[in-house]
Amino acid sequence: MAETPAIHPLRQRMIEDMSMRGLAAATQRTYLRVVRSCAKHAGKPPGDLTFDDARAFQIELMRSGASISTINSHAIALRFFFRVTLRQPGARDLISLMTPPQRIPEVLTPEEVAAILEHAPSLKWRAALSVAYGAGLRAAEVCNLKVGDIDSKQMLIRVEQGKRYKDRFAKLSPGLLDLLRTWWKAGRPEVWLFPSRLSRFTPVTTRSLNRCFHMAKDAAGVDKPATLHTLRHSFATHLLESNVDIRVIQALLGHKKLDTSAIYVRVTPKVIQRTPGPFDRLQFEDKPTS
């Protein structure tokens, strides 16, 4: 029997470093791949990489037409490798991130959201997409919901291990609860609220949920360049337009920083339109004449 090749000590150390910090398996694979690609570009072993090698690798990514998000994700992986695994200070300062353009996210009107939900392929997918909008959940958070996460007594949805492995509560509205009860009576999910078609012991995938969103969007005739995540943006914007405090929206979305939630103030013109201007409160002794 052939022996399993030994893992290089530096690679093993990086895996342990990432595991100790709770990085997801997919993130770990990405970080390892980035370090391997940087070492290949520099033509030297990973342990011999320098900050100049990382910089040259970033420049090559830029020249090849890589997106800002791709370049930044590579930089974050290299920062981790240098700062944590190689224990070299200065990684944050010497491996820079590019500043992406600040674009206002696309938002659907309430009428467009209703049309999309009405054209969902089935009751299960309508319920799943309704949770994405009605509670402002991310795609992965919707897919990983369990039947026991729906608390009808307190009218809350428990979101376990959301982004950055944080638990939180989301709002459960009466209308959304009625829809979920209708789905439960029809589908009888046991563990996962939205089980996979292939096995009731596994949840639906984000890919399947995303595909159903676009099917519903096309069937509803909505031509905006919206994505599944647009439902979450629309949830926050519609709350803000209903005079919900931005700090409450921050908590519902699970944002760590208020600045992340504050972008929705720029999204909706209604908030700007109904804000009284300070000029109108000025008192002039002399009226201007024409």
Question: CA–CA separation, 63 vs 232, rounded Å?
Answer: 34
Please pick, among 163, 164, 233, 238, the residue that the annotation labels catalytic. 163
Q: Is 270 tagged catalytic? A: no
Q: φ, ψ for residue 159 (rounded to 5)?
A: -105, 110
Please pick, among 119, 232, 233, 238, the residue that the annotation labels catalytic. 232
User: Count of CB atoms within 10 A of residue 190's CB?
Assistant: 11
Q: Is 232 tagged catalytic? A: yes
Q: How far is CA 193 from CA 6, 49, 182, 186, 278, in A?
A: 42, 47, 12, 12, 50
Supply 157's token pair.
């949805």
Question: CA–CA separation, 7 vs 96, rounded Å?
Answer: 30
Please pick, among 124, 138, 217, 238, the residue that the annotation labels catalytic. 138
Supply 225's token pair.
């360049």
Q: Is 229 tagged catalytic? A: yes
Supply 104's token pair.
């206002």
CB 157 within 8 A of CB 149: yes
Q: Is 264 tagged catalytic? A: yes
User: Count of CB atoms within 10 A of residue 146's CB?
Assistant: 15
H or E element in which residue 84 lies: none
Question: CA–CA separation, 226 vs 214, rounded Å?
Answer: 9
Question: CA–CA separation, 62 vs 54, rounded Å?
Answer: 13
Catalytic residues: 138, 163, 229, 232, 255, 264
